[in-house]
Structure 1
């Protein structure tokens, strides 16, 4: 009886070790760095936004919420601004514009944009 319990415990330890190694290898898989991807997307968005054709009296930080369509186009969902000029400017210059390396389709992205005074 003692040897049977010892045999079962050894098999249990071996199974637990295999489970730990298998789980660790799952989480160790390297994918794209999301921070780097977001930085590339942000740079492309900043390039699409040239200098506004209206006067901005003071610096304004705007929270921009968007996603990507299946064609890789930016789809603006929300612009957190009360200024109608800024709201229209961002929508006209970004909505349905293609980017080179779009993010994931249907994933929500939120990023702050600073519109500087002119």
Structure 2
């Protein structure tokens, strides 16, 4: 149940990145990122807010450029789950830099 709450929260927070755009490809990217992140397998002492900067290369892979987070465990988790993971080779959103805020909630 706790992991479900974390996943739902990450999903809702990541929606804000692309919510102002009505581009279905950006929505597809957001959905895939939430799916790839899944639920973390570690416990946090407090909520962790971070911003992930990434681009999508010509092969449709996510390339992590920066993770603005002081918690090494969270940075490593995000990078291991997203870096060089394929989203869709046919996206037209390639070779642009995107920023996505994420919040990982503390599990009670």
Return the TM-score normalized by structure 2.
Answer: 0.71
- Corresponding residue SS for 1:54: coil
- Which has the higher mean CA deviation after the structures are superposed, 57-66 or 82-91? 57-66
Q: Give the structure with the larger helix fraction.
A: 1
Q: Tell me, which stretches of 5 or more residues in structure 2 are unaligned? A: 1-20
Return the TM-score normalized by structure 1.
Answer: 0.65
Q: Tell me, which stretches of 5 or more residues in structure 1 are unaligned? A: 1-31
Cα distance change, pair 79–117 in 1 and its aligned pair in 2 (3 A)? same
RMSD: 1.9
From the CA coordinates, give the structure whose radius of gyration is larger. 1
Work out which structure has the larger RCO, using CA pairs closer than 8 Å and 6 or more positions apart in sequence. Answer: 2
Say whether residues 1:105 and 2:66 are aligned partners.
no
| CA–CA distance in structure 2, aligned partners of residues 55 and 42 of structure 1 | 24
4+ residue runs of structure 1 moved beyond 6 angstroms?
none
Cα distance change, pair 90–53 in 1 and its aligned pair in 2 (3 A)? same
How many residues were matched structurally? 86
Q: CA deviation at 1:74?
A: 0.3
- Corresponding residue SS for 1:76: strand
